[in-house]
Amino acid sequence: MRILILIAIGLLLYIIITHLLRKAKIEDEQARMEKMVRCEQCGLHVSEHEAIQQNHHYFCSTQHLEAFNESK
Ligand SMILES: [Zn+2]
């Protein structure tokens, strides 16, 4: 009988750990997704740290930043 309780506890721990790992993975992916921004000039999606930001606008390259400024 004792072994069954140990198996049940082990199984429960396994379920909890895999659940937490999966949750952490999903949150990590969501955090990465949120960092994607759209280039105002060509619509290309680039990660926030790679994008060039100006006045809340994002650009994939300095060329597009300049082109956007010239088109205004
Ligand atoms: Zn662009």
| Co-location of 41 and 71 in the same domain | yes
**Residue 21 Cα to ligand 1 middle (Å):** 36
For 3-12, 22-31, 52-61, which range has the lowest pLDDT when averaged over its residues?
Answer: 22-31
Helix ranges, the chain (H): 2-34, 62-71
How far is the centre of ligand 1, averaged over its atoms, from the C-alpha of 10 (Å)? 52
pLDDT of residue 72: 73
| Angle CA 49–54–57, to nearest 5 | 80
Cα(35) to centroid of ligand 1, in Å? Answer: 16
Report the domain count for the chain: 2
Statement to judge: residues 22 and 42 lie in one domain = no
On whether the CB atoms of residues 46 and 32 are closer than 8 A, the answer is no
Give this prediction's pTM: 0.54
- Name the residue range of residue 46's domain: 36-72
Residues 68 and 42 in one domain: yes
62 Cα to the center of ligand 1, angstroms: 9
What integer pLDDT is reported at residue 9 of this predicted model? 97
**Do both 21 and 42 map to the same domain?**
no
The tokens for 16 are 């909890």
Q: With cut-offs at 50, 70 and 90, classify the pLDDT of residue 41.
A: very high
Ranking 20-24, 32-36, 51-55 by mean pLDDT, the lowest is 32-36
**Six-digit token pair at 44?**
């290309």
Distance 27 CA to ligand 1 centre (A): 28
More confident residue, 1 or 46: 46
Give the integer Cα–Cα distance in Å for 30 and 7.
34
Answer yes or no: do 70 and 43 share one domain.
Answer: yes
Instruction: State the maximum Cα–Cα separation within the chain, in Å, rounded to a whole number.
Output: 78
